[in-house]
């Protein structure tokens, strides 16, 4: 069965389109009242691990706003969980890993799992979601970058600096690289399983890539993302989003990734320049700008599309949507892209 709306996949291939496709990072959940109802009843990892709940949350924003792609409701930290690293999600705190990896001894208990066994619930959620989507729009699967996952595994929680993660890299590089390789091997197997289960594209989130200098980025993040791209690019389009990683856009453009995410600190012009103007770009509306009045959002979105150009472009935010964004403001963002017309 072919998709009724394949605009997103066509933009990933760099084909000429009438308007860019649109979706929003973290669109499944957080800001939607129907998601809040589910959240009241079930804790975070129950929602991730129950295919009926994960698939329902995934399709909620599509029903309401009709984005051009759905992204599976899940979390990047299901990977460390599968690797025998305990992860809790604490209310009003975020992720908490009670036994962080800080030495070779800690690393010895970390496994590369059988992903179909450990993360089978994700594959079940994909199959259920595909049924619910009924070929309306493509489904995106995702994973965190190995570096971003390492940040949580070593720090044990969120951080403004991830100082302990960096300390491990710089004082025990052998341990850091072994952990990064284990995460990479698990992530490749996981994303391959997701593709087999039916996702139409995958995205790698390097949320904390911008914490590293360009030299350290190449050593501790990019080389592992490149392994993931190399392993997957013949099976599925791969989108790479590195927050704060504008300095790596030149290398990313030569990587074989189908599209590159851009955050709001990098202008469309710079992003096109740094990537050589060829590769599909995705982004880069400041999520906090969705707190502006809807009329202003529409103007800014139109300007954003005009600056990136309609082709080889996917309209999106420059990071995940914030929980306090009014529903009508999110709608204004989506509608502005759908209503966009070239300036005659």
Domain boundaries, the chain: 21-283
Residue 183 has pLDDT above 90, yes or no: yes
In three-state secondary structure terms, 109 is coil
Q: Confirm whether 190 is a catalytic residue.
A: no
As a whole number, mean pLDDT of residues 292-321 equals 98
Give 203's strand partners: 142, 239
Q: What is the CATH number of domain 21-283?
A: 3.20.20.210
Indicate which residue of 75, 124, 286, 311 is catalytic: 75
Distances from the Cα of 51 to the Cα of 74, 90, 98, 102, 104, angstroms? 10, 22, 26, 33, 35
Q: Which residues are annotated as a binding site for substrate?
A: 26-30, 45, 75, 152, 207, 319
As a whole number, mean pLDDT of residues 187-213 equals 98
Residue 49 has pLDDT above 80, yes or no: yes
As a whole number, mean pLDDT of residues 338-344 equals 92
As a whole number, mean pLDDT of residues 141-158 equals 98
Indicate which residue of 10, 30, 106, 121 is catalytic: 30
Strands 94-96 and 88-90: antiparallel
- Summarize pLDDT for 245-284 with one digit per residue, the tens: 999 999 999 999 999 999 999 999 999 999 999 899 999 9
Residue 187, pLDDT score: 99
Q: Would you state the structure tokens that stand for residue 197, as one six-digit string?
A: 């289960």
Indicate which residue of 68, 152, 190, 289 is catalytic: 152
Residue 343 confidence class, pLDDT cut points 50, 70, 90: confident
Q: Confirm whether 272 is a catalytic residue.
A: no
Strand ranges in the chain using DSSP code E only, listed in sequence order: 70-71, 88-90, 94-96, 139-144, 201-206, 238-242, 259-262, 280-285, 313-317
Name the pTM for this structure: 0.98
- Summarize pLDDT for 71-84 with one digit per residue, the tens: 999 999 999 999 99
Q: Confirm whether 47 is a catalytic residue.
A: no
In three-state secondary structure terms, 141 is strand
Dist CA 165 CA 27 (whole Å): 29
């Amino acid at each position: 069965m072919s998709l009724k709306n394949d605009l997103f996949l066509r933009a990933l291939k760099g084909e000429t389109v009438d308007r860019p496709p649109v979706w929003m990072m973290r669109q499944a959940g957080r800001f939607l009242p129907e998601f809040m109802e589910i959240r009241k009843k079930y804790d975070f990892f129950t929602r991730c691990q129950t295919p009926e709940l994960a698939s329902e949350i995934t399709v909620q924003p599509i029903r309401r706003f009709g984005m051009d792609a759905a992204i599976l409701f899940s979390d990047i930290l299901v990977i460390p969980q599968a690797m025998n690293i305990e992860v809790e999600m604490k209310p009003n705190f975020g992720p908490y890993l009670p036994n962080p990896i800080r030495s070779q001894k800690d690393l010895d208990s970390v496994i590369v799992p059988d992903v179909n066994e450990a993360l089978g619930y994700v594959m079940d959620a994909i199959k259920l979601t595909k049924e619910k989507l009924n070929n309306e729009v493509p489904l995106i699967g995702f994973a965190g970058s190995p570096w971003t996952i390492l940040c949580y595994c070593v720090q044990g929680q969120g951080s403004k600096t991830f100082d302990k993660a960096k300390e491990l890299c710089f004082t025990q590089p052998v341990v850091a690289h072994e952990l990064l390789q284990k995460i990479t091997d698990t992530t490749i197997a996981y994303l391959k399983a997701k593709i087999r289960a039916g996702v139409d594209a995958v995205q790698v989130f390097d949320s904390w890539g911008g914490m590293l200098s360009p030299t350290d980025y190449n050593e501790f993040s990019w080389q592992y993302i490149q392994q993931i791209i190399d392993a997957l690019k013949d099976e599925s389009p791969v989108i790479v989003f590195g927050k704060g990683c504008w300095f790596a856009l030149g290398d990313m453009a030569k990587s074989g990734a189908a599209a590159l995410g851009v955050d709001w600190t990098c202008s469309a012009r710079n992003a096109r320049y740094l990537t050589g103007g060829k590769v599909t770009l995705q982004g880069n509306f400041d999520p906090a700008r969705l707190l502006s009045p809807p009329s202003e959002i529409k103007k800014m979105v139109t300007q954003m599309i005009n600056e990136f150009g309609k082709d080889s472009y996917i309209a999106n935010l420059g990071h995940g949507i914030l929980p306090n964004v009014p529903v009508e403001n999110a709608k204004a963002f989506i509608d502005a892209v759908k209503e966009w017309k070239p300036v005659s």
